[in-house]
Amino acid sequence: MKFSLLNGWVWKMAWRESRTTGKRLFLFVSSIILGVAALVAINSFGHNLERAVDEQAKSLLGADLVVTIREPFSEETEELFRSWGGDQSREVRMASMVYFPASDGMRLVEIRALEGDFPYYGELVTSPPEAAERFRQGPYALVDDRMMLQFDVEVGDSVKIGAFLFTVAGKLQRIPGETMTETLIAPRVYIPLSYLSQTELVQFGSRVSYRNAFRWGTSTNVDQLLEDARPHLDEQRLRTITVEDRKRRLGRSMENLYRFMSLVGFIALVLGGIGVASAIHIHIRQRLNTVAVLRCLGASSQQASMIYVIQAAVMSLVGGAAGALLGIGVQNLMPPVLKNFLPVVISFEVSWGAVWQGLGMGLGFGLLFALLPLLTVRRISPLVALRFTYQKENPLPRDPLRWLVYGLIALAICLFSLSRTQSWTQGLAFAGGTMVAFLFLLAVANLITALIRRFFPDSWSYVWRQGLANLHRPNNQTTVVMLALGLGTFLITTLFLVQGTLLNAVSLAGSGDRPDMVLFDIQSDQREEILQIVRSMDLPVQQDVPIVTMRLASINGRTVQEISEDPDHRRRDWALFREYRSTYRDRLIDSEELMAGEWHGSVNGPSGEVQISLEKSIAEDLGVAPGDQLVFDVQGMPIETTIGSLRQVDWERMQTNFFVVFPVGVLEEAPQFHVLMTQVGSAEASAQLQRTVVQRFPNVSTIDMALVMETVDAVLDNVTFVIRTMALFSIITGLVVLVGAVISSRYQRIRESVLLRTLGASRQQIRKIMAIEYLFLGFFSALTGLILAVGASWALAFFLFDTVFVMEIQPVVLVLCVVVGFTMLIGALSSRGLTSRPPLESLRAEV
C-alpha cells in the first residue's frame, strides 16, 4: 500500500480519471456533506454551549449560594444566615391559582414572593425593562409573558392571587438559569414577599418552599462555609445549591440533549456513507474496463485499487470540508431551534475542534464505506479487456477482506456512539439499534425485490411491468434508495406516532367517567363548603381524599440519618428524606393492585398494630418488605407502623395516588388537608367551578384535565420540534442519496430508453415507465420505513412509556404521500432530458 501511495503515477491517474466524472463524484461528496454538517453544527454548538454555561455560570443560579427548605427557616437557621453576612434575598415559592378579572381567566401558576435584590447575577428580563425593579416596590406582580398573551392581559391590568389583587407591573420574559420549557409547566408569577401574607395562600398543607439567596462576591469561600455549617444544615434538612451544583446539573441535562442530537446527526452520516458506497459502486462498475486495461498494460492490482482509494479519500476530504463549512453556518440555526431548552444566551464562535472532528469523520466514514465497493477493484481480471463476459464464466469468490470492512464499519459505529453516550449500555444499545434498523431495512428491501420477481404481475400492461421490473434490473439502486429513504421515513413517522400515543395516553386518563378536575390544598374547615358547592352544581364527588404530611423517622429501629450515613446502605436517600403525603382509607381503589402481603383496612383496637401499605417501587427504593417496621414522624408525633402489604399503582390515572396508605383509625385527628376530584365535563362547567371555588377560597388550587393536556402537548411540541429538525438531516441526506442513485444509473437508463425508442416506444411511454419505477421505489421505501416506525413506536409505547400504542392513520398516510411524491419529483427532475434528445446524441454525450 505504502509503495503504491508513494507512486506518482497513481496520483496522476486518480486526478486524470476524475476530470470527466465530476458529476458522479460530486454526488459522492454531497452524500457526506449533510452528515458532517450536522455533526459539526452540533459539536460546535455544544462547545459554545459549554462556554456559555461557564461564562454565565453565576447567572444560572443568580447568587453564590441558595439554601432551600420546605418549611419556614428555624430561628437557629436565621441566626446562621445572619452570621454568614453578605447580601441576602428571601423567596417563597408555591403553586397557586391566579385569576385575571379582565378576561375572567384563571390558571395554576408558581408564585414567587421575593424580597431583596435577587437575582444578583443575570437579570429578570421584563417588558417594560424597569418592571423588574418596580414590582418590588408595591402591590405589583410580574407575570409570565406567554400566559399574559393567552389570557389577553396587559401591563396595568389586575391579577388576583389568593385573596389579594395585584397590578401587573410587567411581562416576565426570561429568568436567569431557567428554560422556557420549565415555565410551560408552571408559568411564573413574581410578587413582593411583603404582600404574601395578604394573599392568605400559605396555609396548613400548602406545598411551600423557602429559599434564601446569598451574595458575597469573591471574598468568601462558599465550600468552606458549607463545610463548617454541615452538621446544622443536615440536621435541619436544608438543601444547598451552589453555582457548581447548578452548573453540574445543567451540564448533565444539556449534555443529554446534545448527545442525543449528535447521535441523530450521526445517523445522517451513516446514511451518507451508504450513499458514498452506492456512488463508488456505480463508479467502479463503469471503470471495470479501464481497470482491466490498466492491468493488461502492467499496473499491479494494488496500483489500480489505489487510484480509486485516492479519489475516494480526496472526495471524502472535500465532502468533509464542505460539510464543516455548512455546519458552521447551520450552527446559527441551533439556538433558535433549542431556545426553549436553553437557560443561557449563546454567542456564535467557530469551534475548530468541531471542524477538525467533522473533517476526520467525513474522511473516515467516506473512506470506510467507499472501501466496500473498492475491494472489487483488486479482483478485476485483465481478461475483462479481452472479453467482457469473462466475469460471468468465472464468478468472483467471496472476499474475506469484505468482512473486515464490515467489521470496521460496525466498530466505527460502536466507537462513535460509545464516545457520545459515554456509557457502555447506552452506546451499544444505540449502535445495535442503528444496525438492527439498517439490517431490517436491508432485509425488507431484499424481500420486496424477491417478492416482485417471484410474483411478477404478468397480466399488467407493458409500461407497468417494465416500471416494476426496473426495481430488480442488474445494477439497480433499490436497496440503497430504500435504506436511505426508509430510514428517514422511519425516524419521522416514529416521532409522529409516539407523540400521538403519549397524547392519547393523557387524554384516555381523563375520559369516560374518570375525574377531569382536581381541587387540592382544601383545609379541613373548608371541606364541607366546597363539597356543597360541587354538589350544588350537580357534579359528582368522585374522590374526597384526606392527606397527612409526614417524614420517615426510622426503619427497623435505625434512624434514617444512621442509614444514610452507613456506607454500605443500598437505599435511596431521596426516599429516606422526602416528605410523604399519605392518606388513610379502608379499601384499595381501582388504580391499585395488591402485589404482596395482606391489606388491612383498619386498626384493631386503640393499641393495635398499624399495618400500612407501601407502593412497590418506593418499597424497593427503601429496601423494605412486608413485616418491616417503619416509624413516621407526623407533625412531631412518632407513629409506629408495620408494612402490611405492597401495592402496584397505575400512576397515569388522573387520581390521587400515594406511596403510603394508612388504615383508618390512626390519622383521623392529625393535621390534614383534602383533595377532591370531580368530573366537570365541559369547559364552561370547569370555568364556573374554578371561579366559584377560587373566589371563595383563594388558597384552593385546581387542575383541569384540559390544562394538563395543553401542557403535555406544548412540551411534546417543543421536544419533537428539536427531534424533527434533526431528523430532517436524515431525510435530506436520504434525498441526496436518492438523487445520487438516480443520476448514477442515468447512463443505464439512457441506453434503455434509446433501445426502447429504437424499438418504437413513444417518449410518453418511457416517461411513464420511469414515473412508475419511482412510484414503486418511493412507495416501497416509505412502506418499509412505516413498518419499522410502527414496530418501534409500539415497542416504545409498550416498554418505555408503559401505555397503549395508538395507530394514527393520518400522519402515516401523509408521510407515505410526501415520500412517494418527493421520490417521483426527484426522479422526474434528474431524468429530465433523457427522452427529448435524439437517441444517438444522448449516447455519445453521456459516454
Partner 1 sequence: MTPREMFRERRRRRDLYMEKTVLEVKDLTKTYQSGERTLTVLDRVSLSLTQGSCCAVVGPSGSGKTTLLGLCAGLDRPTSGSVVLNGVSLNELDEDQMARVRSESVGFVFQTFQLIPTLTALENVVVPIELRAETHVKSRAIELLNQVGLGDRLDHYPAQLSGGEQQRVSLARAFINHPRILFADEPTGNLDAETSDRVTDLLFELNDAAATTLVLVTHDLELARRTQRVIELKGGMIHSDQNLQYPSRDLAL
Is 256 a binding residue for partner 1 by CB under 8 A? The answer is no
- The answer for residues whose C-beta is within 8 angstroms of residue 83's C-beta and 6 or more apart is none
CA-to-CA distance for 315 and 242, rounded, in angstroms? Answer: 50
Exactly one of 299, 309, 676, 772 binds partner 1 (CB under 8 A); that residue is 299
CB of 388 to partner 1, least distance (A): 8
3-state secondary structure of 505: helix
Integer Cα distance of 602 and 609 in angstroms: 10
- Applying CB under 8 A, does 300 fall inside the site for partner 1? yes
Binding of residue 385 to partner 1 (CB under 8 A): yes
Task: Please say which residue, 290 or 718, places its beta carbon nearer to partner 1.
Answer: 290
Instruction: Give dist(CA 437, CA 427) in Å, integer.
Output: 15
Which value, to the nearest 10 degrees, does the dihedral of the CA atoms of residues 742, 743, 748, 751 take? 110
Strand, helix or coil for residue 120: coil
Residue 213 φ/ψ, nearest 5 degrees: -105, 145
Q: Decide: is 391 part of the binding site for partner 1 (CB under 8 A).
A: no
- DSSP code for 664: B
Among 30, 88, 351, 381, binds partner 1 (CB under 8 A): 381
**CA pair distance 815, 786, nearest whole angstrom:** 9
What is the rounded distance in angstroms from the CA atom of residue 733 to the CA atom of residue 588? Answer: 55
- Contacting partner 1 (CB under 8 A), which of 194, 290, 542, 688? 290
Residue 282 or residue 487: which is nearer to partner 1 going by CB? 282
Gyration radius from the chain CA atoms: 34
Among 1, 217, 218, 298, binds partner 1 (CB under 8 A): 298
Q: Based on the shown chain and the rule CB under 8 A, indicate whether residue 7 belongs to the binding site for partner 1.
A: yes
Provide φ and ψ at 239, rounded to 5°.
-100, 135
Site for partner 1 contains 636 (CB under 8 A): no
CA distances from 304 to 4, 29, 398, 399, 692 (A): 9, 22, 20, 17, 86
Strands in 290-374 per DSSP E? none
Distance in Å, CB of 391 to partner 1, minimum:
13
Q: What is the distance in angstroms between the CA of the first residue and the CA of the last residue of the chain?
A: 31
Judged by CB under 8 A, the residue of 150, 206, 303, 391 near partner 1 is 303
Whichever of 393 and 684 has its CB closer to partner 1, that residue is 393
Q: Least CB distance from residue 309 to partner 1, whole Å?
A: 16
Q: Considering only the stretches 3-11, 105-113, 597-605, 704-712, report the one whose residues sit in contact with partner 1 under the rule CB under 8 A.
A: 3-11
In the set 5, 16, 460, 638, which binds partner 1 (CB under 8 A)?
Answer: 16
Residue from 622, 633, 725 nearest 671 by CA: 633
Among 165, 186, 317, 383, interactor with partner 1 by CB under 8 A: 383
Q: Choose one: 12-20, 321-329, 336-344, 589-597; the region binding partner 1 (CB under 8 A).
A: 12-20
Residues in contact with partner 1, counted by CB under 8 A, come to a total of: 35
Smallest distance, Å, CB 302 to partner 1?
7
- Answer yes or no: are the C-beta atoms of 271 and 730 closer than 8 Å: yes
C-beta closer to partner 1: residue 98 or 292? 292
CB 820 within 8 A of CB 778: yes
Binding mask 24-63 for partner 1 (x = CB under 8 A): ----------------------------------------
688 binds partner 1 (CB under 8 A): no
Cis before residue 119, ω within 30 degrees of 0? yes
Positive or negative, the CA dihedral 325, 329, 332, 337 is negative
Among the candidate windows 119-127, 287-295, 346-354, 431-439, which touches partner 1 by CB under 8 A? 287-295
If binding is defined by CB under 8 A, does position 847 make contact with partner 1? yes
Is 8 a residue that touches partner 1 (CB under 8 A)?
yes
Contacts of 276 (CB under 8 A, 6+ apart): 28, 31, 32, 312, 316, 365, 366, 369, 370
Q: Does 1 bind partner 1 (CB under 8 A)?
A: no
Rounded Cα gap, residues 612 and 631, in angstroms: 11
**Which of 125, 222, 293, 790 forms a contact with partner 1 (CB under 8 A)?**
293
Residue 394 C-beta: closest distance to partner 1, Å: 7
CB 155 within 8 A of CB 128: yes
CB 508 within 8 A of CB 717: no
Among residue numbers 87 through 106, which ones bind partner 1 (CB under 8 A)? none
CA nearest to 533, candidates 408, 690, 420, 646: 690
DSSP string of 265-298, one letter each residue: HHHHHHHHHHHHHHHHHHHHHTTHHHHHHHHHTT
386 scored as a contact of partner 1 (CB under 8 A):
yes
- Considering only 1, 217, 224, 393, the residue that binds partner 1 (CB under 8 A) is 393
Among positions 23, 237, 248, 387, the unique one binding partner 1 when judged by CB under 8 A: 387
Residue 221 contacts partner 1 per CB under 8 A = no
- Measured from the CB atom, the residue of 15 and 204 that comes closer to partner 1 is 15
CA atoms within 13 A on the CB side of 80: 18
Minimum distance from residue 291 beta carbon to partner 1 (Å): 9
Q: For residue 77, what are the contacts with CB-CB under 8 A and spacing of at least 6?
A: 67, 69, 232, 236, 238
| Residue 12 beta carbon to partner 1: minimum distance, rounded to whole angstroms | 7
391: burial class by Cβ within 10 Å (0-12, 13-18, 19+)?
middle
Residue 29 vs 437, nearer CB to partner 1:
29
Per CB under 8 A, 20 contacts partner 1: yes
Nearer to partner 1, 298 or 512 (CB): 298
C-alpha cell at 424: 457502555
Beta bridge partners of 212: 67, 90
Whole-number minimum distance, CB 312 to partner 1, in Å?
Answer: 16
Whole-angstrom distance, CA of residue 585 vs CA of residue 369: 65
- In the bound state with partner 1, the residue whose beta carbon lies nearer, of 301 and 449, is 301
Looking at the Cβ atoms of 390 and 801, the one nearer to partner 1 is 390
* Bridge partners for 241 per DSSP: 66
Residue 839 found at the interface with partner 1 (CB under 8 A): no
Q: Which of 301, 391, 504, 629 binds partner 1 (CB under 8 A)?
A: 301
Q: Least separation, in Å, of the C-beta of 838 and partner 1?
A: 17
User: Quick check: 428 binds partner 1 (CB under 8 A)?
Assistant: no
CA distance linking residue 579 with residue 525, whole number of Å: 23
Please report how the helices 478-509 and 763-795 are oriented relative to each other, as an axis angle in degrees rounded to 10: 40
Considering only 95, 288, 296, 452, the residue that binds partner 1 (CB under 8 A) is 296
Is 295 a binding residue for partner 1 by CB under 8 A? The answer is: yes
Stretch that binds partner 1, among 292-300, 328-336, 437-445, 473-481 (CB under 8 A): 292-300
Q: Which residue from 137, 221, 289, 461 is in contact with partner 1, where contact means CB under 8 A? A: 289
d(CA 463, CA 422): 54
**Nearest distance from residue 835's CB to partner 1, in Å?**
22
288 binds partner 1 (CB under 8 A): no
Backbone angles phi, psi at 197, to 5 degrees: -65, -30
446 secondary structure, DSSP code? H
Least distance in angstroms from the C-beta of 7 to partner 1: 7
Residue 392 or 587 with smaller CB distance to partner 1: 392
Does residue 395 bind partner 1 (CB under 8 A)? no
Q: Which residues here bind partner 1, judged by CB under 8 A?
A: 7-9, 12-13, 16-21, 289-290, 292-303, 381-383, 385-387, 393-394, 844, 847
